[in-house]
Structure 1
Amino acid sequence: MAEPARGTVRANGLEFGYLAAGPEDGPLALCLHGFPDSAYTWRELLPELAGAGYRAVAPFMRGYAPTEVPDDGVYQTGALAADAVALHGALGGGSDAVVIGHDWGAFATYGAAAHAPELWSKVVTIAVPPLNALMEGFFGYEQLKRSFYMFLFQTPLAEMAWNRDFVDGLWRDWSPGHGAQARAVDVDHVMACLGTPENLGAAIGYYRAMFDPARHVERYAAEQEAVSAKGERPVLYLHGADDGCLGADVVVPGGDVSAVLAHLPEGSRVECVPGVGHFMQVERPGDVNARILDWLAG
């Protein structure tokens, strides 16, 4: 498999590093990663999108090296959505663009698609359902145990706990079917992206902003509201049956997708993918890529 091209682009006041594949004149496919992850999480999908004619671009999210750490320290989900909209423009996207997001990238995708639906023809999200659907089951005991890291990240202990073993443990728990050798590749990329105190502070800042509205700024108020809006562009939502980060028992209990569908636009589709966990796009790329490409083609 050919290595994706690397590039940089300025959008929303930040210099973003990105990986890309596909023809320069193809419709934009913007692929947004989550935590603890990097743009390399899309290394299997980028060439498939390129083969389908897309200009597939996976930026490193704000604060994840080589993308700049924002001077203002703003990491609210509205800012992530604004980044996606700005990247669409900076990369020359048209109304035929598609946006695909995993984990934090899913939040950015919901916000970008609802805030500026005219920019996107198709939407895909993975591993994090719409915010209102997530909140319905989040506070059960088992899910709160899985989400210990979110609460750890509200304290100064977060930076003290951070090391390679911690990241590897999250990946092992969240995608138990992703073998140690394959997992090591992804953990290497994470450690490279978050190898400085500034970059690590940015990644943890996403979680601190989530729990502290005082960290939100007015200029992203519209995008912030859009993150939890239903939107109008149909969404393909994929959730792993073995997800150890956000349990399928919370999101699609007993395989019932109705609660998630209720918070998505008409025409959306929800699929619980068997045999995969949180990082399904690298755990079983053939299956996941086929589902995404089928949705985009349809």
Structure 2
Amino acid sequence: MLAHPSTPSSHPTRRIRHLLACALLSLGLMATAACSAASEPAQATATSAERFGPLKHVEAGVLDVAYVEQGPADGPVVILLHGWPYDIHSFEAVAPKLAAKGYRVLVPYVRGYGQTRFLSAQTLRNAQPSALASDVIAFMDALHIQHAVLAGFDWGARTADIVSALWPERVKALVSVSGYLISSQEAAKAPLPPSAELQWWYQYYFATERGQAGYDKNRHAFAKLIWQTASPKWAFDDTTFERSAKALDNPDQVAITVHNYRWRLGLAQGEARYAPLEAKLATFPSISVPTITLEGDANGAPHPPAESYAQRFTGKYAYRLISGGIGHNLPQEAPDAFAQAVIDADHL
């Protein structure tokens, strides 16, 4: 199904009101200010998402996907993928930079975030990696996009890696923060050194019913703690945080987050239809598309060392360490560097 914009100015009732207001003005029956106000409802009432967007929606696979689009409709496509517990505003400064270069930039809310919704109440709230990657393919198909540059961080980087590995014909180039993040349930069984296990404390917390209840009760406080530990030198303000934290109020957020981390530990089942994809991912397939991997010099989240994954990228490849106290949310903390990586990867 084709996307349909949901801008305030495109709403038919508001449009009619505006036309009536201006018609009355021409007859001297309304004040100029009234017509002016009617002609600019977006400026008066727009949410932060609408100022970034506005949000559009498209039915894609099992989802009604909410997304932002910027840039020319006929430009080369870039899809930007966020992670947990973040949202599309991680790319609020990146998207216009790419749009100014002629790219058609698409920034979707992942399942369980923002205004993205499942089309059926009966659909399993599944967040296994191959399901999230399949969402991207369904999103591209729904918008009739044959190939795109994919760029992401956290869950978004893993998803972009998986799409690039399983469907390389759909990916023109890849930008992945923290590099190669494809894994498997079998690999997750191997214990890590205590210091590394400590970094994954929330994964084990979510493995318990207490953890699920605690996250549901304290979503915003939980997210702020993750932001602070993952980006210890990023001095984000409350307005910036709350703008993104609202995406966690999605009714499926807790189920999606908990399933993702429980699945990794083999404590939750996936869906049979994704089993063939997970089997391929368990072989740790190489990625052949042109790729730039990024890392922040102050990333406080668990991440592999660059030398451990370089050989997984068999096409044109470059690694960049972004300095200046840059943490896990690299596109929001260093938008210039992230946008430039997208442009450069597209031209490798």
TM-score range, shorter chain: 0.7 to 0.9
Return the match for 1:154 from 207, 215, 232.
Answer: 207
- List runs of 5+ in structure 2 lacking aligned partners: 1-47
2:262 aligned to which of 180, 205, 208: 208
Give 1:67's aligned residue.
116
Q: Which amino acid aligns with 2:301?
A: C
SS in 2 for 1:215: coil
The question of whether the paired residues in 2 share the 8 Å contact of 1:146 and 1:246 is answered with yes
Matched, 1:296 2:346: yes
Number of residue pairs matched by the alignment? 288
Question: Helix, strand or coil: the match of 1:262?
Answer: helix
Match of 2:276 in 1: 222
Paired position in structure 1 for 2:164 = 113
Contact kept, 8 Å, 2:153 with 2:330, in 1: the verdict is no
Matched residues in 2 for 1:3 and 1:292: separation? 19
Picking from 83, 86, 98, the partner of 2:135 is 83
Identity %: 24
Counterpart of 1:23 in structure 2 is 72
CA-CA distance at 1:186 after TM superposition:
4.3
Letter of the 2:176 counterpart = T
How far apart, CA to CA, are the structure 1 residues paired with 2:240 and 2:347?
A: 29
Alignment partners' CA distance in 2, 1:83 and 1:89: 10
C-alpha distance in 2 between matches for 1:33 and 1:149: 19
Q: Which amino acid is 2:210 matched to?
A: L
Cα deviation per residue 1:150-195 (whole Å; 9 max; x = unaligned)? 11111112233332222111101111121141xx344313431222
CA deviations over 1:236-272 (Å, ceiling 9, x no partner): 111112111125xxx22xxxx3321022223222222
- The one-character-per-residue Cα deviations of 1:36-89 (angstroms, maximum 9, x if unpaired) are 011111111111121121111111101213111462122110101111111111
TM superposition score normalised by structure 1: 0.87
- State the AA in 1 paired with 2:151: I
Contact 1:112 1:223 in 2 (8 A): no
Q: 1:189 to 1:158 in 2, by over 3 A?
A: farther
TM-score by length of 2: 0.76
Rate the CA distance shift 1:237–1:222 in 2: closer, same or farther, 3 A: farther
Q: What's the secondary structure of 1:113's corresponding residue?
A: helix
